A and B are shown apart, each in its own frame.
Chain A
Amino acid sequence: MSRSMSRKRPNPAQYRRARHKRPAHAELFAALGHKARLALVARLCAGPPESISQLTSGSRLTRQAVTKHLRVLERAGIVHSARAGRESLFALDPEPMQQMQDYLGRVSREWDRTLARLKAFLEKTEL
């Protein structure tokens, strides 16, 4: 333990600060936590890249609202846009969502194993 003791000990206040930072994954979850944006994601997921006009024509939202939601999705890295003539075409990038899901899957499986060990531990020890 000598190595760990020689290191600077973080104090509880540091922990709290670190927890309240909002790095990029927070944007990913925030971006997906909205009905209109989820609908846009679902639409881009199922079809080819589309312009703001095309996405507006297929929804009940105004052009301004669609634009606003697309920008949020773009900042979170969920959609990317590319110029096509006078318009921008928006396409889905599943990578960030996939990465997060993979990570959560690993954490989830690790908990399955840990809790199985707890169960086994309780079975083998006296009450």
Chain B
Amino acid sequence: MENRIEKRIELNAPVSRVWRALTDFREFGEWFRVALDGPFVVGQVARGRILHPGYEHIVWEALIEKMEPERLFAFTWAQVRHHDKERYSPDYSSAPRTLVEFRLEKTASGTLLTLTESGFENIPADWRGDAFRGNDGGWTQQMQNVEKYVAETP
């Protein structure tokens, strides 16, 4: 059984542009849907507020691990156990953490972005992982994203 996630996506933009979208906290916030308090600094905790409708009460928090210009951006973040308002706790001090890594490679048409998330073995066995990360509204959301993308690129 795999205990990591890996995704590859081809982006029609130069590496320098993708690097900015990943590491400029305002740009990151736009597509990641989080309102960040300030810029990403290696070795420091970045914090903000989730902008997904219905999840605005959730604090986004990550420790920036690595920023190797135009090559690697990595952070560790807490796995939120309960996303619903009733059970959600903003205290992440004992939450299990996973490592997120974005790797960039130049290609003929732009950039190959490889995303990995690892460290899921840190999650207690009795977790089922609720809503937000893949709730049932998710596919509707995905379809809207595709529609939007197609509409914007005739």
Residues of chain A touching chain B, judged by Cβ–Cβ distance below 8 Å, are: 1, 3-4, 7-12, 14-15, 18-19, 21-30, 32, 77, 96-97, 99-125, 127
- Complex alpha-carbon distance, A63 and B120, angstroms: 33
Q: Which of B91, B95, B115, B120 contacts A115 (CB 8 A)?
A: B115
In the A-B complex, the 8 residue pairs with the smallest Cβ-Cβ separation, listed nearest first, are A106-B134, A24-B125, A103-B129, A121-B31, A26-B121, A117-B31, A110-B133, A109-B134
B47 touches A4 (CB 8 A): yes
Contacts of A27 in B (CB 8 A): 125
Nearest CB of B to A25, in Å: 5
- Complex alpha-carbon distance, A120 and B90, angstroms: 30
> Which secondary structure dominates where chain B touches chain A?
mixed
> Which secondary structure dominates where chain A touches chain B?
helix
Q: Which of B1, B3, B31 contacts A120 (CB 8 A)?
A: B31
B94 within 8 A of A: yes
B142 touches A113 (CB 8 A): yes
Residues of chain B touching chain A, judged by Cβ–Cβ distance below 8 Å, are: 1-3, 5, 7, 9, 11-14, 17-18, 21-22, 27, 30-33, 37, 43-45, 47, 49, 59, 61, 63, 76, 90-97, 99, 113, 115, 117, 119-129, 132-134, 138, 141-142, 145-146, 148-149, 152-153
Count CB-based A-B contacts (< 8 Å).
170
| Residues A99 and B127 in contact in the complex (CB < 8 Å), given A10-B45, A15-B76, A109-B134 | yes
Nearest CB of A to B3, in Å: 5
| Residues A106 and B122 in contact in the complex (CB < 8 Å), given A112-B142, A123-B153 | no
A120 touches B97 (CB 8 A): no
Contacts of A19 in B (CB 8 A): 76, 97, 99, 119, 122
User: Closest residue to A109 on the B side, CB-wise?
Assistant: B134
Nearest CB of B to A108, in Å: 5
| Residues A4 and B128 in contact in the complex (CB < 8 Å), given A18-B96, A25-B121 | no
Contacts of A120 in B (CB 8 A): 31, 145, 148-149, 152
